[in-house]
Amino acid sequence: MEIVAYGVLADEEPLLREAFDKAFDGRHELRCLRMFLDPDTVPTAVGHEVLVSSVNDTLDAQVLRSLAEGGTRMIAQRSTGYNNIDLAAARELGLTVARVSSYSPYSVAEFAWTLALAANRRIVRAAHRTREFDFRLDGLMGRDLHGRTAGVVGTGKIGAAFARIAHGFGMRLLGWDVAEDPDCLALGMEYVPREQLFAEADLISLHVPLLPDTHHLVGTKALALMKDDAILVNSSRGGLVDTDALLETLRAGRLAGVGLDVYEEEAGVFFLDKSLEVMADERLARLMTFSNVLVTSHQAYFTKDAVGQIIGTTVANIGDYFAGRAGDNTLVRPGTA
């Protein structure tokens, strides 16, 4: 059987092929496509019982219906997030859907700190200068983080890993989540109301999933509470931050730095080369004009360790499907409510 994978990155493909060969020993062939799955590309999936999707694929009711009509029975999403999949439609169509429930939390936590430190110490600006042999320090002054306050919004595995690094820097820890994490409490973290965290933290890092209750979690009210010289980092989901409100805050000259690895309208932009095109997204273009804003293209997870774990779990999910099993990673299984 041929299995088709969409949105496969160049660095990802060798790992994906190696895992498939090891798991299936030639019983199933893998077809890797760079394109994303959407209403225009869905005909390429016809005849494939199993497909491997990415979080940037469009798997709405229309696409899922076309997939089902074309013979697809199983979708293995190689990501933790699945807000791009209409699960209700998948259930109605009798499709099996699985995801990767977890992978290395250190990849994202370490990258969030990379953004925080780069924003604080103006690393990108400094690197651009020195490439042109400009070695002045004007405009590059940052702050010690030791002794300052880190606000961790969401203290699951990634947030807890971020907190441990903050503790290593000697920072005071504030946390906000629906449940307190014992390991974070052992570090001395104080769980406080969200408003207090935004008001007191010098560095705020977001590590919560995108849900109706967390959409635009960082909006006008939250940003107004933040210190003028605070640093905001988002390596979780773009929709957590209200971009319009953030732009207004930046235009007012507030916030010492912003590090964004995700953006609420990143679909159709991130993972693609747009360098020869006019950037039609005016809000993203405006964000990039601020010297204290650092934007990366959803790469926090992108380490060999994390990608290897994601691929391993994806292959295992496909193996479970062929064996008629459902596990913790199964989001939809035919015949279940």
| pLDDT of 250 over the 90 cut | yes
How many other CB atoms sit within 10 Å of the CB of residue 124? 13
Distance CA 5, CA 242 (A): 32
Annotation says 266 is catalytic:
yes
Predicted local distance difference test score (pLDDT) of residue 271: 86
User: How would you classify the pairing of strands 257-260 and 231-234?
Assistant: parallel
Residues 6+ positions from 162 with CB-CB distance below 8 Å: 109, 112, 113, 150, 152, 205, 207
Mean pLDDT for the chain overall? 95
> CA separation (Å) from 292 to 6, 34, 229, 268, 285?
35, 33, 11, 25, 14
Q: Which backbone phi and psi does 151 adopt, to 5 degrees?
A: -105, 120
pLDDT (tens digit, 9 = 90+) per residue, 16-30? Answer: 999 999 999 889 999
Q: Which backbone phi and psi does 11 adopt, to 5 degrees?
A: -75, -20
Predicted local distance difference test score (pLDDT) of residue 335: 62
Annotation says 265 is catalytic:
no
User: How would you classify the pairing of strands 330-332 and 96-98?
Assistant: antiparallel
Q: Which residue out of 266, 277, 282, 283 is catalytically annotated? A: 266
pLDDT (tens digit, 9 = 90+) per residue, 304-324? Answer: 999 999 999 999 999 999 999
Token match 């990366």: residue? 296
Please report which confidence band the pLDDT of residue 337 belongs to, taking 50, 70 and 90 as the band edges.
very low
Beta strands in the chain (DSSP E): 2-5, 29-32, 50-53, 74-77, 96-98, 149-153, 172-176, 190-191, 203-206, 231-234, 257-260, 293-295, 330-332
153's tokens: 């919004």
Predicted local distance difference test score (pLDDT) of residue 300: 96
Task: Give Cα 266 distance to the centre of its chain.
Answer: 11
Q: Which backbone phi and psi does 214 adopt, to 5 degrees?
A: -105, -5
Q: Which backbone phi and psi does 140 adopt, to 5 degrees?
A: -105, 5
Residue ranges matching CATH 3.40.50.720 in the chain: 2-103+304-332, 105-295
Q: Which residue out of 237, 251, 325, 333 is catalytically annotated? A: 237
pLDDT (tens digit, 9 = 90+) per residue, 58-72? Answer: 999 999 999 999 999
Nearest to 53 by CA among 65, 38, 40: 38
Predicted local distance difference test score (pLDDT) of residue 290: 96
DSSP state of 119: H
- CATH says 105-295 is which class? alpha beta
Distance CA 111, CA 3 (A): 32
What is the CATH number assigned to the segment(s) 2-103+304-332? 3.40.50.720
pLDDT (tens digit, 9 = 90+) per residue, 128-137? Answer: 999 999 999 9
